[in-house]
Amino acid sequence: MFEAKYQWVPAKAVSSAAVEQLSKELNLAPLTTKLLLQRGITTQKEAEAFLNPTLEQLADPFALHDMQRAVERIKQAIASDEQITVYGDYDVDGISSTAVVYEALMDLGAKVNYYIPDRFKDGYGPNLQRYQQLIKNQTELLITVDNGVAGFAAIEFAQNQGVDVVITDHHALPPKLPPAYAIVHPRYPQHEYACPNLAGVGVAFKLVCALLDEIPQEMLDLVVLGTIADLVELTGENRALVKFGLQALQQTQRPGLIALANSAKLDLTQADAETISFGLAPRLNSLGRLATGQIGVELLTTFDEDQAAEIAAKVEKLNQKRQQETEKIATAAWGQLETADQHLVNVVAGEGWNTGLVGIAASRLVEKSQRPTLVLGIDPVTKIAKGSGRSVAAFDLFAALDPQRQLFEAFGGHQQACGLTIKVSQLPELQKVLDAAAQQQHLDTAGKEKLEIAATLPLSSIDQNLIDQINLLQPFGPGNPAPTFSFTDYQLVQPKMIGKKQNHLQFRLQNAQQQVAAIDFFAGEQGTAFIKQPAAFKFVGHLTLNKWKNQVKPQIMVADLGSSGPLVIDRRTPKLSRQLFDRPATFFFFEQRHYSVLKPYFSADSNLVIGEKQLLQQKSFSELILVDCPPSLKEFAQLFAQLQVEQLEVIFYPFTIKAGVKVPTRAELARVYRYVLKHQQIKLAENLEPLANYLELKPQQLNFILQMFFEAGFVKIDKGLMTGCVSRKKIDLTKMVSYRSKLQQLKSEKILIQGKSADLTNWIARLLTN
């Protein structure tokens, strides 16, 4: 049984009166207004500020802690011609942050360079050896972007050497802060900024705004990259930065971004949040994972088109390599989980796993297992493991591990993600710590993450105008998720797997008015099961517009898919084998005599249930296997309406039903009747088969006709001898019990034995779901 990943819950209830009132004030469709109200936006003023953000909504950058001190020190360095080094990070947020500050300082005439740490040699954040080298190379002022607060030792060293460090960071603050010259952070204790969820590039951009005393809109195409890639909440300032950042990206003149988009076959003029999330960001991230993020800054800041094209081509190759290697790691890691002891928090590690890719693998395993997961690569020589963790909403990963820093060689992160370096010998202790934290945070009873369903939409209501209205709420992301809908009044058709690896599920919803395509990326085994039995599944999704070859059509992006009832598996076979039954499972027989035939086939640990009475004593089954056919479809339906079954396998072996016995034609009935009237005292036991051959019928067909005749009084049978009788009254043979019974049998046979697999499993699934 394929469970949905999330617990589907109705979104916040809003009154129809409130919807009507706000719709009039805003001149919006009721659905759009309902979505605003569900997000807590209740007044016209709030709605207009949300729907139409402006750059004037950005707060004063000097409201950030230590901003005045940071700006004064940087301006002093520029005036004194000091060597400034911008020390960044190797992910998209760090690369874009570095590019923003580097460009601004260049514009101000500073003597500036930048350094992106090597993920493998330097690790995350301030590295003591690297700081020593930079200072040796004459760096006189260090500005960290998207890192710094976790680098106490390196920053203390720099300050002791007379080299000031200005930190701009957004990561979780440790209990003991480094002795930097200035710490610009949106969540500094007792000094929280109006938008505490700024990305690293958001904090860097605020520093630039303060330095330039203006909002440099030409840098917003860089700001939007890191803000979306780092998955910060798109509320407050972040919403304005992304809205205007996407507009800047659509019109960008940066050779690097244009070349990167061209190599990825992306149209920047139509760029949205997904263009960054699934197109640009993974490619830029591949640099830090497989090479160096240093060239990422070069790509974003160069004005040389040839250089941009050359770097973009390299990025594309690295991204392809990233995809291949990540798949290998994720597959191996999942294999470990399937064979290891089960824990509430997964920890897997392997030699040779690229530590630049384990974070992606961890995300995939979280998605697949719905559990927090740490994936680490082991150096076989040093026996040091480096890795990343990803979490679920119910588990604070940083809170679980931050008090245990003595375990780690290096550690940093936030609630939903972390990076760490640890000795292999400490991995068992790490698992114990996480198990204890899971119990402390009640992860075992937290249940699934909730997915709010905004509304249920009839298929006929879906059109481009409706989706345009919904998209007024963009940009979507954390803090402002794309609304999720369920759907009604449709027939599901044409399910199939698509893509090079056949791992994406596509299907269509249709009614008399229209047809709308739906797609579920990376559906995998669940998609394959869906194709076989769509009636056993339910789904919810987001509405988007699919733009292809100058055509714009509504499309549903499946957000979650799960079984709506029992999964039905077709195990029908013309020949029974011992392997079919020799397994620990629950087998059900409608009839005792059929069980007697197969009794030797079953293993000692098989659970055998015989007859309706025994079945109803248990009622609930995780797995149930039906061996023989039910007496009728009606009895089958009545019986299984009383049961709870998660997975149903059907063998439906026809012990007594003989394929090919059809309802007799009028000519066949007349032919047999004429014969029995002319021949008396027929010995049926001896002559049934020869007689059938003579009458050009199968023995089973003749036997059925004679049953009908006996019921109608057309023949008498005494001591095995049959004699024909002349009927004086007109009798409708189609009303005979035997005839109607045969019709029911043939109907059952057509569905249960002869029916196509998809038809059978869907019929049973609908039956058991209703």
Mean pLDDT for 403-426 is 90
Which tens digit of pLDDT belongs to each residue from 99-157? 999 999 999 999 999 999 998 899 889 999 999 999 999 999 999 999 999 999 999 99
What global pTM score does this model have? 0.77
Q: How far apart are CA 122 and CA 130, in angstroms?
A: 7
Residue 215 gets the label, from left (phi > 0), alpha (psi -120 to 50) or beta, of beta
Residue 70: CB partners within 8 Å, gap ≥ 6?
166, 168, 181, 182, 184, 207, 210
- Reference 83, options 114, 107, 122; nearest CA is 114
Q: How far apart are CA 630 and CA 641, in angstroms?
A: 14
- Bridging pattern class, strands 567-570 and 141-145: unpaired
**Paired residues of 720 in beta bridges:** none
Torsion angles phi and psi, residue 762, rounded to 5: -70, -40
**Paired residues of 145 in beta bridges:** 168
Q: How far apart are CA 630 and CA 628, in angstroms?
A: 7
Q: What is the DSSP letter of 64?
A: S
Which tens digit of pLDDT belongs to each residue from 477-516? 999 999 999 999 999 999 999 998 898 999 999 998 899 9
Q: How far apart are CA 285 and CA 94, in angstroms?
A: 10
- Bridging pattern class, strands 515-520 and 551-563: parallel
Joined tokens for residue 143:
């500005």
Q: How far apart are CA 170 and CA 201, in angstroms?
A: 9
Question: What is the SS3 assignment for 388?
Answer: strand
pLDDT at residue 681 is higher than 90: no
Average pLDDT over the chain reads: 91
Mean pLDDT for 213-223 is 98
Which tens digit of pLDDT belongs to each residue from 516-544? 999 999 888 888 888 888 877 899 999 99
Residue 652 gets the label, from left (phi > 0), alpha (psi -120 to 50) or beta, of left
Residue 623: CB partners within 8 Å, gap ≥ 6?
585, 586, 645, 646, 647, 648, 649
- Bridging pattern class, strands 373-379 and 384-390: antiparallel
Q: Given this model, what pLDDT does residue 266 score?
A: 95
CA atoms within 13 A on the CB side of 686: 7
How big is the CA angle at 461 (ends 457 and 467), to the nearest 5 degrees? 90
When mean pLDDT is compared over 7-16, 305-314, 694-703, the highest value belongs to 305-314
Mean pLDDT for 4-31 is 93
Q: How far apart are CA 407 and CA 413, in angstroms?
A: 15
**Paired residues of 348 in beta bridges:** 375
Mean pLDDT for 568-576 is 84
Cβ–Cβ < 8 Å for 291, 341? no
Q: Given this model, what pLDDT does residue 497 score?
A: 93
The residue type found at 540 is V
Q: How far apart are CA 764 and CA 756, in angstroms?
A: 12
Q: Given this model, what pLDDT does residue 583 score?
A: 82
Q: How far apart are CA 223 and CA 104, in angstroms?
A: 13
Q: Given this model, what pLDDT does residue 415 score?
A: 85
Q: How far is CA 633 from the centre of its chain?
A: 37
Q: Given this model, what pLDDT does residue 673 score?
A: 84
- Which residue has 């930097």 as its token pair? 180
Q: For residue 599, how many other CB atoms are within 10 A of its CB?
A: 10
Q: Given this model, what pLDDT does residue 661 score?
A: 60
Q: How far apart are CA 18 and CA 40, in angstroms?
A: 12
Question: What is the SS3 assignment for 9?
Answer: strand
Joined tokens for residue 760:
């059978």
| Residue ranges in 52-181 assigned as alpha helix (H) | 67-79, 92-107, 128-136, 152-160
- Model confidence band, residue 73 (pLDDT cutoffs 50, 70, 90): very high
Burial 190-223 (b: 16+ CB within 10 A, else e): eeebebebbbbbbbbbbbbbbbeeebbeebbbbb
Q: How far is CA 292 from CA 119, 263, 285, 307, in A?
A: 8, 19, 10, 16
Going along the chain from its start, the domains and CATH numbers come out as 7-49+449-563 (2.40.50.460), 59-317 (3.90.1640.30), 340-445 (3.10.310.30), 567-657+753-769 (3.40.50), 666-748 (1.10.10)
Which tens digit of pLDDT belongs to each residue from 229-246? 999 999 999 999 999 999
Cβ–Cβ < 8 Å for 237, 194? yes
Q: How far apart are CA 613 and CA 536, in angstroms?
A: 27
Q: What is the dihedral of CA 344, 400, 450, 331, to 10 degrees?
A: -50
Q: Given this model, what pLDDT does residue 657 score?
A: 56
Q: How far is CA 503 from the centre of its chain?
A: 13
Question: What is the SS3 assignment for 511?
Answer: coil
**Paired residues of 588 in beta bridges:** 609, 626
Q: How far apart are CA 660 and CA 535, in angstroms?
A: 30
Q: How far apart are CA 417 and CA 421, in angstroms?
A: 14
pLDDT at residue 770 is higher than 70: no
Which tens digit of pLDDT belongs to each residue from 739-757? 777 777 777 777 788 788 8
Joined tokens for residue 590:
């409608």
Q: For residue 664, how many other CB atoms are within 10 A of its CB?
A: 20
pLDDT at residue 660 is higher than 70: no
Q: What is the DSSP letter of 714?
A: S
Joined tokens for residue 369:
């297992």
Mean pLDDT for 719-735 is 79
Q: How far apart are CA 746 and CA 740, in angstroms?
A: 10
Q: How far apart are CA 757 and CA 534, in angstroms?
A: 12
Percent of the chain with pLDDT over 90: 64
Percent of the chain with pLDDT over 70: 99
| Residue ranges in 128-254 assigned as alpha helix (H) | 128-136, 152-160, 200-212, 220-229, 237-250
Residue 713: CB partners within 8 Å, gap ≥ 6?
725, 727, 731
Q: Given this model, what pLDDT does residue 1 score?
A: 56
When mean pLDDT is compared over 220-234, 445-459, 527-541, 620-634, the highest value belongs to 220-234
